[in-house]
C-alpha cells in the first residue's frame, strides 16, 4: 500500500498543487527560519521551496516516500537531511528546532496528540510550528459526510482521516495560534502557532 501511495502521490496532488497548494506551501515555508524540522516529508514537495534557513531535518517513516524525498533533498538550495522515524517518538533532544513544518500530516499520523506533544518538546520555547492541514468541516452536514467517508478514505489514502479537528487538537496541545487562514469553506487550514512553554 505504502509503495502504491508513494507512486501515485505526486500525480494525484498535481492538480491541487497547481490550483492553490504550491502557492500555499511557498507562503508557509517562507516563514521558516533557523534550524527546521519537517515531519512526514512525503515525497519532499516542500524541499525546493526552502531558501533562507540554516538546515532542515526531515523525518519520514515510509521507505518509498523517503526515497523520493531523498532525491528532492539533493536538488534543494539548503542542506536537507532525510531520516527514517516516527513523529510520535522523535529522536531529538528537547528545544532544538526554531521551526517545525507539518503539511498534510496530522490527518495521517496514528496518534495526533502524541505528535503534537513531541513537537512541543523539540521546538524551542517561542519557536513556531507551521501547518497546512485538511480538517473536518464545522457546523455543516459536510462534516457528517466526511465521517461517513473516512473508513474508505483511510483504506485508499494510507491511513488518512478526513475528519480530524486539528485546530482543536493544536490548541489543546498548548500551542498559541497566531495566524490562521481557511480555504475551501474551512476544509484546508493554513496555521502558524507559537510554542509557549
Ligand X SMILES: C[S@@+](CC[C@H](N)C(=O)[O-])C[C@H]1O[C@@H](n2cnc3c(N)ncnc32)[C@H](O)[C@@H]1O
Which residues make up the interface to ligand X (CB under 6 A)? 39-42, 45, 59-62, 65, 86-88, 103-105, 108-109, 160
Compute the least distance from the CB of residue 42 to ligand X, in Å.
2
**Which of 180, 175, 176 has its CA nearest to residue 191?**
180
Compute the least distance from the CB of residue 139 to ligand X, in Å.
25
Determine the Cα–Cα distance for residues 137 and 196; give it in Å rounded to an integer.
27
Helix (H, G, I), strand (E, B) or coil at 181: strand
- Locate 28 and state its grid cell: 508557509
Determine the Cα–Cα distance for residues 114 and 110; give it in Å rounded to an integer.
9
Task: Name the residue number minimizing CB distance to ligand X.
Answer: 42
Strand partners, 188: 134, 183
Determine the Cα–Cα distance for residues 169 and 80; give it in Å rounded to an integer.
28
Q: Which helix (H) or strand (E) holds 64?
A: helix 63-74
Please say which residue, 39 or 173, places its beta carbon nearer to ligand X. 39
Compute the least distance from the CB of residue 9 to ligand X, in Å.
7
Please say which residue, 100 or 104, places its beta carbon nearer to ligand X. 104
Compute the least distance from the CB of residue 155 to ligand X, in Å.
14
Please say which residue, 125 or 164, places its beta carbon nearer to ligand X. 164
Compute the least distance from the CB of residue 131 to ligand X, in Å.
10
Please say which residue, 21 or 139, places its beta carbon nearer to ligand X. 21
- CB 133, CB 108: distance < 8 Å: no
Compute the least distance from the CB of residue 104 to ligand X, in Å.
4
Please say which residue, 160 or 167, places its beta carbon nearer to ligand X. 160
Q: Is the dihedral of CA 127, 13, 109, 86 positive or negative?
A: negative
Please say which residue, 95 or 158, places its beta carbon nearer to ligand X. 158
Strand partners, 99: 36, 128
Amino acid at each position: 500500500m505504502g509503495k502504491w501511495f508513494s507512486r501515485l502521490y505526486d500525480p494525484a496532488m498535481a492538480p491541487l498543487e497547481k490550483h492553490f497548494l504550491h502557492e500555499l506551501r511557498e507562503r508557509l515555508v517562507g516563514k521558516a527560519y533557523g534550524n527546521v524540522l519537517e515531519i512526514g516529508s512525503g515525497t519532499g514537495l516542500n524541499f525546493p521551496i526552502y531558501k533562507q534557513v540554516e538546515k532542515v531535518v526531515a523525518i519520514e517513516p515510509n521507505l518509498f516516500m523517503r526515497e523520493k524525498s531523498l532525491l528532492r533533498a539533493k536538488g534543494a538550495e539548503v542542506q536537507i537531511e532525510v531520516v527514517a522515524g516516527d513523529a510520535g517518538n522523535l529522536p531529538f533532544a528537547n528545544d532544538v528546532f526554531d521551526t517545525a513544518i507539518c503539511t498534510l500530516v496530522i490527518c495521517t499520523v496514528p496518534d495526533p496528540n502524541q505528535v503534537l506533544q513531541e513537537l512541543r518538546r523539540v521546538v524551542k520555547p517561542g519557536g513556531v510550528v507551521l501547518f497546512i492541514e485538511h480538517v473536518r468541516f464545522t457546523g455543516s452536514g459536510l462534516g457528517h459526510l466526511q465521517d461517513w467517508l473516512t473508513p474508505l478514505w483511510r483504506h485508499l489514502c494510507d491511513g488518512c482521516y478526513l475528519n480530524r479537528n486539528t485546530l482543536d487538537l493544536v490548541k489543546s496541545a498548548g500551542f498559541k495560534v497566531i495566524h490562521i487562514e481557511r480555504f475551501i469553506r474551512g476544509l484546508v487550514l493554513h496555521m502558524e502557532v507559537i510554542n509557549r512553554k
